[in-house]
Amino acid sequence: MMMHCRDRFARFAMGLTCLIAALTFDRCHAADAFVNVVEGVQPRIVKIYGAGGLKGLEAYQSGFLISSEGHVLTVFSYVLDTDYVGATLDDGRKFEAKIVGVDPRLEIAILKIDAKDLPFFDLDQAAALSSGRRVLAFSNLFGVATGDEPSSVLHGSVSVVAPLQARRGVFQTRFTGNVYVLDAMTNNPGAAGGALTDAAGQLAGMLGKELRNSQDNTWLNYAVPISALRQSAADILAGKAPSALTDEDRKRPDNPLSLQLLGIRLVPDVLDKTPPFVDFVLPRSPAEKADLQPDDLILFINNRIASSCRAVRDELNFIDRIDPVLVTVQRGQQLLEVELRVE
């Protein structure tokens, strides 16, 4: 009887040992797989540096490579509103980044750096996520990585897929489509523009800006699905979206347009980059006929970014007064396009 009990105990101990060994192997295997995923994603993450400092605004954000030729997808923000935007790759190489184009409705921008043969995310292969899926968030939150240090990685899951109902300060966000609401603290300073991947490292979304839930005033941790950004990114790469005012070689017409001819008076230009708000519209002018109104914010002139009063005046200098001009303005939370023509 004693011998029989000993045999049963020996078999139990052996089984328990095998189980522990199997669990340990699984954990080690999972840890190795996690490390491999992170190492595979890190070279595709870009640290972006530009404007900031005013009222404590951070001068950095995140992005990720979407082509081997150095195209970077990121958020369209004040950080890019400067003459020099810097981009640092995972290996520490630093480049000047040029704005290829932006989409103000989705608040995205595509930058270009002078580099070749880079690892990148294929937007056409992006994953679609559902509630409960495990995710990884890659970004330069808090600006902790300045050179070849790895970007920050947060592990979490998708809490819910739901329409975005949020605000930035007192303003409602313009994007109201479905987003991935996350259970990890992903949307911290500098994280905007970072990459959200599934547990296997497949791109799924782009981390959004810092926002508060408009219903309960709590901070939101979310990412915009790549499916909502894919077509706009393709349009920007194809040259069908607004571009930055960087073309210094364009020919100026002999009789260019001006704000006076259009009947627009902007707010006083007291800063280097005074936002181009409409201060007054002249009666019976092209601007009045097109229903431009005081407090409209001019965003684009003929699909070219106009980020200041000076930029608006400069862009009009490249348009002949006999040609129509397409002006995109923000009125409250609406984006409006109007065509002005001097008769």
C-alpha Rg value of the chain to the nearest Å: 26
What residues have CB less than 8 Å from 98, skipping those under 6 apart?
85, 111, 112, 113, 244, 246
Task: Answer whether residue 12 is part of any domain.
Answer: yes
Task: Answer whether residue 247 is part of any domain.
Answer: no
Domain boundary among 203, 237, 271: 237
**Looking at the structure, do residues 231 and 284 belong to the same domain, yes or no?**
no
- Residue from 137, 91, 84, 147 nearest 111 by CA: 84
- Overall size of the chain counted in residues: 343
Confidence at residue 17, expressed as pLDDT on a 0 to 100 scale: 61
Q: Which residue type does 303 have? A: N
Two tokens, residue 284: 């019976």
Residues 203, 197 contacting (CB under 8 angstroms) = yes
Domain of residue 8: give its range: 2-42
Confidence at residue 246, expressed as pLDDT on a 0 to 100 scale: 47
Give how far Cα 124 sits from Cα of 66, 102, 127, 154, Å.
Answer: 10, 19, 9, 24
Confidence at residue 336, expressed as pLDDT on a 0 to 100 scale: 84
**Looking at the structure, do residues 59 and 71 belong to the same domain, yes or no?**
yes
**Looking at the structure, do residues 203 and 101 belong to the same domain, yes or no?**
yes
**Looking at the structure, do residues 229 and 212 belong to the same domain, yes or no?**
yes
**Looking at the structure, do residues 29 and 67 belong to the same domain, yes or no?**
no
55 by DSSP, 3-state: which?
helix
Confidence at residue 251, expressed as pLDDT on a 0 to 100 scale: 78
**Looking at the structure, do residues 58 and 34 belong to the same domain, yes or no?**
no
Give how far Cα 332 sits from Cα of 227, 277, 297, Å.
Answer: 27, 12, 9
Task: Answer whether residue 30 is part of any domain.
Answer: yes
Q: Which residue type does 304 have? A: R
Task: Answer whether residue 252 is part of any domain.
Answer: no
Task: Answer whether residue 280 is part of any domain.
Answer: yes
How far is the C-alpha of 289 from the C-alpha of 106, rounded, in Å? 29
119 by DSSP, 3-state: which?
coil
Confidence at residue 245, expressed as pLDDT on a 0 to 100 scale: 44
Segments of the chain scoring below 50 in pLDDT: 2-3, 170-171, 244-246
**Looking at the structure, do residues 334 and 292 belong to the same domain, yes or no?**
yes
- Residue from 2, 65, 93, 337 nearest 203 by CA: 65
Can you give the CATH number for the domain in which 324 is found?
2.30.42.10
**Looking at the structure, do residues 65 and 26 belong to the same domain, yes or no?**
no
**Looking at the structure, do residues 212 and 276 belong to the same domain, yes or no?**
no
**Looking at the structure, do residues 289 and 168 belong to the same domain, yes or no?**
no
Number of structural domains in the chain: 3
Confidence at residue 147, expressed as pLDDT on a 0 to 100 scale: 83
Confidence at residue 30, expressed as pLDDT on a 0 to 100 scale: 55
